[in-house]
């Protein structure tokens, strides 16, 4: 078709080209024969100049110099190049484990040039694919600009792809054919083999999972599915180009010059059916057969204690049941719960170490409410940083404040705040992303293989032999994210202001997370918290206390800090901007690395925040002393007994005793400082004899 093309010549638009066609100048030869004088200026005496555009075009066509035409033709006219070099045109399609270039991998690359079909299978030899690419001059894909080619460039480093690429998704749109490839095939009458008619794109990853887990027939079906995609593109190309030329009323001479790619149907040749090296081999999978990581690799559990995580796949309304799961070490119990009260009561009865909720637990920085009438709606938008990161990584995630998510976000925040007010740590999780990263299928792809993936990962329970809902399976996955968090193999997406979305990170080192020590001290007035903190500081622990932040606030307001003013402002901050805000301000006073001691935990929220921030590195130590000893110490500091009673009865001290139930360790401090130091040294695993 290139011999009918003039758009690659500078100054000739599609409209001008159509004008030439309608005037009878349909080919380069037509022009040479007619050579009307009005064209001579435009073509710069092309009939007499060796380097004229048409002479150069003829030379490039004869030498199969595709790049010449790719450099001079508009991208949306590249189909003309493919139509002119059908024997050099490769129809290409890939299958992957998912849609994210960040987390997913290519499983199959299928291609056809002429009547031959070839396929690369992950883990196999890629020489045939590289050889085919080196021979191809044009690539045709469906949505390859956004999907296939970026994946290929990422996984086949240094591969020289042809410069000429025809993306049928955008070409088809020019003639009113939109949607996915399968939808267009149905619209134009393409019929796939009977065994492939029900398979859609989301099933391809499942076939790969089946193959990895021992089903050889699944690999064969995956390649057949890929082959059908490749062959379907040939018919789409023929149909679209024909309609496109008829739409612009192109001359019949141009239309009849088109090749018919669909007539060159390729067939799959299996290696077992041929003696040469061309056939496609079907071999058992040699890589990691199940999930990309197993529970035993996380090293979460302690033989002496039971670790419990609650996972909640939350819905936006109490009218729709939410999936709920409890992991007791590696055993899952699931159910569906509707109301907030049911979720709260059932969760509290378990006394979990951590709760993992599949729901946004915060809103974009600057927003005040979840609703569209929020004054910051236009300025701060509807997406958080964590959602933007996932979007960039190719993971489909809904913005937290689109209308359909607003009730869910509000409910998630409400539940998280309630649990935290009781001292229960809460993290935000996203089961779909976690499943992608772990290498198990999502519920949309296959409930059966999601169940199987969780089982192989290492989660036991009745869920694998009784019928459970997809919400319960996602709740199990949410709980599993809690295990990743506790092990340190996680990534926190987002910012401190918007909180963090926790996803697994299989590559991260957990050394720092596990070896770090963060000691939090709580207890009534004059129990020895500051003495214990100073002792740890002498062993290199960075030390900070909540009162440091409160003193700074008082001084900024021109108020002299003392016990009364500190307690009053502590109570005010607790109400607004809140205890989590105070915790964040305190951590700004401490280094991001090394051992820490935090003095003065007063509310359950403090405990929850520290666990959410430091995981298993955080050890909450609650110190108790007989009241008579505490009074003695208070008086020894120059205070009166009345002042002690007033300070001890202040509202800010009311939650102190509840912290004893949350603490990891409760110690008793009599009047022996050395005994207190020995207890602290044992908890922090330091040798108090050597400084």
pLDDT tens-digit map of 212-230: 888 999 999 999 999 999 9
Largest CA distance in the chain: 116
What pTM was estimated for this model as a whole?
A: 0.88
pLDDT at residue 278 greater than cutoff 50:
yes
E strands in 385-430: 426-429
pLDDT at residue 38 greater than cutoff 70:
no
pLDDT at residue 44 greater than cutoff 80:
no
The dihedral built from the CA positions of residue 48, 53, 54 and 59, taken in this order, carries a sign that is: positive
Q: Which residues of 8-28 are buried (b: 16+ CB within 10 A; e: fewer)?
A: bbeebeeeebbebbeeebbbb
Crossing angle, helix 403-421 and helix 604-614, to 10 degrees?
A: 110
Q: Which residues contact 64 (CB under 8 A, 6 or more apart)?
A: 85, 88, 137
Q: Tens digits of per-residue pLDDT, 103-156?
A: 999 999 999 999 999 999 999 999 999 999 999 999 999 999 999 999 999 999
Residue bearing the bigger pLDDT, 273 or 91: 91
In DSSP terms, 428 is beta-bridged to 357, 501
- Over residues 426-441, the mean pLDDT reads 94
Q: Tens digits of per-residue pLDDT, 562-610?
A: 988 998 999 999 999 999 999 999 999 999 999 999 999 999 999 999 9
Residue bearing the bigger pLDDT, 514 or 377: 377
Contact present, 149 and 133 (Cβ < 8 Å): no
Q: Strand 116-121 vs strand 138-141: parallel, antiparallel, or unpaired?
A: unpaired
Domain 81-273: give its CATH architecture: 2-Layer Sandwich (3.30)
pLDDT at residue 37 greater than cutoff 80:
no
pLDDT at residue 690 greater than cutoff 50:
no
pLDDT at residue 299 greater than cutoff 60:
yes
Task: Sketch the domain layout of the chain as residue ranges.
Answer: 2-63, 81-273, 295-508, 516-684
pLDDT at residue 171 greater than cutoff 90:
yes
d(CA 393, CA 37): 57
Concatenating the DSSP letter of every residue in 646-688 gives: HHHTSGGGTTGGGHHHH-SEEEE--S-HHHHHHHHHHHHT--T
Residue 45 has what pLDDT?
A: 45
Query: 81-273 with 295-508: one CATH topology?
Result: yes
d(CA 656, CA 193): 70
pLDDT at residue 46 greater than cutoff 50:
no
Contact present, 619 and 519 (Cβ < 8 Å): yes
Q: Which residue, 113, 102, 206, 117, is CA-closest to 155?
A: 102
Q: Which residue, 209, 304, 252, is CA-closest to 26?
A: 252
> What percentage of the chain reaches a pLDDT higher than 90?
77
451 membership: H or E segment, kind and range: helix 447-457
Residue 60 has what pLDDT?
A: 95
Tokens 């932040």, located at residue: 549
Superfamily of 295-508 according to CATH = Ribonuclease H-like superfamily/Ribonuclease H (3.30.420.10)
User: Which burial class, exposed, middle or buried, applies to 333 when counting CB atoms under 10 A from its CB (0-12, 13-18, 19+)?
Assistant: middle
Tokens 């009534």, located at residue: 524
d(CA 282, CA 302): 43
pLDDT at residue 41 greater than cutoff 50:
no
Contact present, 151 and 93 (Cβ < 8 Å): no
Contact present, 304 and 297 (Cβ < 8 Å): no
CATH placement of domain 516-684: 3.40.50.300
Q: In the structure, what pLDDT confidence band is assigned to residue 233 with cuts at 50, 70 and 90?
A: very high
Q: In the structure, what pLDDT confidence band is assigned to residue 275 with cuts at 50, 70 and 90?
A: low
Tokens 């280094």, located at residue: 591
Residue 501 has what pLDDT?
A: 98
d(CA 371, CA 671): 56
For 537, phi and psi rounded to 5 degrees? -60, -35
In DSSP terms, 521 is beta-bridged to 599, 621
Q: Tens digits of per-residue pLDDT, 591-603?
A: 999 999 999 999 9
- Over residues 355-363, the mean pLDDT reads 98
Contact present, 481 and 358 (Cβ < 8 Å): no
Residue bearing the bigger pLDDT, 4 or 47: 4
């Amino acid at each position: 078709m290139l011999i009918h093309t003039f758009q690659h010549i500078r100054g000739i638009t599609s409209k001008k080209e159509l004008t030439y066609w309608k005037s009878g100048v349909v080919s380069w030869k037509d022009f040479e024969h007619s050579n009307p004088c009005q064209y001579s200026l435009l073509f710069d005496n092309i009939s007499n100049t060796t380097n004229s555009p048409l002479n150069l075009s003829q030379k490039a066509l004869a030498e199969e110099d595709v790049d010449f035409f790719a450099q001079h033709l508009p991208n949306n006219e590249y189909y003309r190049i493919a139509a002119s070099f059908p024997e050099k045109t490769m129809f290409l399609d890939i299958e992957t484990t998912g849609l994210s270039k960040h987390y997913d991998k290519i499983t199959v690359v299928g291609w056809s040039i002429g009547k031959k079909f070839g396929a690369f299978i992950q883990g196999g030899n890629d020489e045939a694919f590289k050889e085919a690419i080196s021979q191809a001059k044009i690539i045709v894909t469906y949505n390859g600009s956004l999907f296939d080619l970026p994946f290929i460039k990422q996984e086949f480093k240094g591969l020289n792809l042809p410069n000429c690429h025809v993306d049928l998704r955008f070409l088809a749109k020019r003639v009113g054919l939109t949607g996915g490839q399968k939808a267009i095939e149905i619209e134009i009458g393409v019929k796939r083999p009977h065994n492939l008619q029900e398979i859609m794109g989301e099933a391809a990853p499942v076939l790969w999972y089946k193959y990895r887990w021992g089903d050889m027939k699944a690999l064969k079906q995956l390649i057949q599915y890929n082959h059908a995609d490749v062959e379907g593109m040939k018919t789409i190309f023929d149909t679209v180009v024909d309609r496109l030329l008829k739409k612009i009323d192109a001359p019949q001479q141009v239309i009849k010059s088109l090749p018919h790619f669909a007539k060159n149907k390729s067939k799959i040749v299996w290696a077992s059916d041929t003696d040469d090296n061309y056939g496609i081999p079907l071999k058992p999978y040699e890589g990691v057969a199940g999930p990309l990581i197993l529970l035993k690799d996380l090293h979460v559990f302690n033989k002496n204690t039971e670790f419990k995580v609650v996972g909640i796949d939350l819905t936006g309304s109490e009218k729709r049941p939410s999936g709920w799961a409890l992991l007791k070490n590696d055993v899952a119990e699931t159910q569906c719960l509707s109301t907030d009260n049911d979720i709260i009561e059932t969760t509290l009865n378990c006394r979990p170490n951590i709760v993992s909720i599949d729901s946004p637990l915060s809103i974009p920085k600057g927003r005040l409410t979840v609703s569209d009438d929020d004054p910051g709606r236009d300025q701060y938008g509807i997406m958080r940083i964590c959602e933007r990161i996932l979007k960039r990584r190719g993971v489909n995630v809904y913005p937290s404040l689109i209308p359909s998510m607003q009730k869910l976000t509000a409910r998630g925040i409400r539940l998280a705040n309630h649990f935290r007010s009781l001292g229960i740590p809460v993290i935000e999780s996203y089961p779909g992303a976690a499943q992608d990263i772990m290498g198990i299928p999502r519920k949309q792809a296959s409930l059966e293989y999601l169940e199987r993936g969780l089982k192989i990962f290492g989660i036991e329970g009745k869920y694998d032999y009784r019928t459970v809902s997809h919400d319960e399976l996602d709740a199990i996955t949410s709980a599993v994210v809690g295990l990743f968090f506790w092990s340190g193999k996680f990534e926190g997406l987002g910012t401190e202001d918007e909180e963090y979305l926790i996803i697994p990170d299989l590559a991260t080192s957990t050394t720092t997370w596990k070896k770090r020590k963060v000691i939090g001290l709580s207890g009534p007035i004059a129990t020895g918290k500051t003495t214990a903190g100073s002792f740890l500081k002498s062993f290199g622990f960075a030390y900070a206390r909540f009162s440091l932040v409160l003193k700074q606030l008082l001084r900024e307001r021109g108020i002299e800090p003392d016990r009364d003013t500190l307690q009053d402002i502590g109570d005010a901050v607790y109400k607004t901007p809140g205890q989590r805000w105070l915790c964040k301000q305190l951590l700004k006073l401490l280094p991001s690395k090394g051992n820490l001691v935090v003095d003065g935990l007063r509310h359950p929220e403090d405990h929850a925040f520290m666990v959410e921030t430091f995981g298993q590195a955080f050890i909450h130590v609650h110190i108790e002393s007989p009241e008579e000893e505490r009074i003695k110490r208070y008086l020894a500091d120059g205070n009166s007994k009345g002042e002690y009673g007033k300070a001890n009865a202040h509202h800010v001290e009311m939650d102190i005793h509840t912290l004893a139930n949350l603490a990891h360790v409760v110690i008793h401090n009599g009047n022996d400082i050395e005994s207190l130091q020995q207890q602290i040294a044992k908890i922090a695993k330091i040798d108090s004899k050597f400084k």
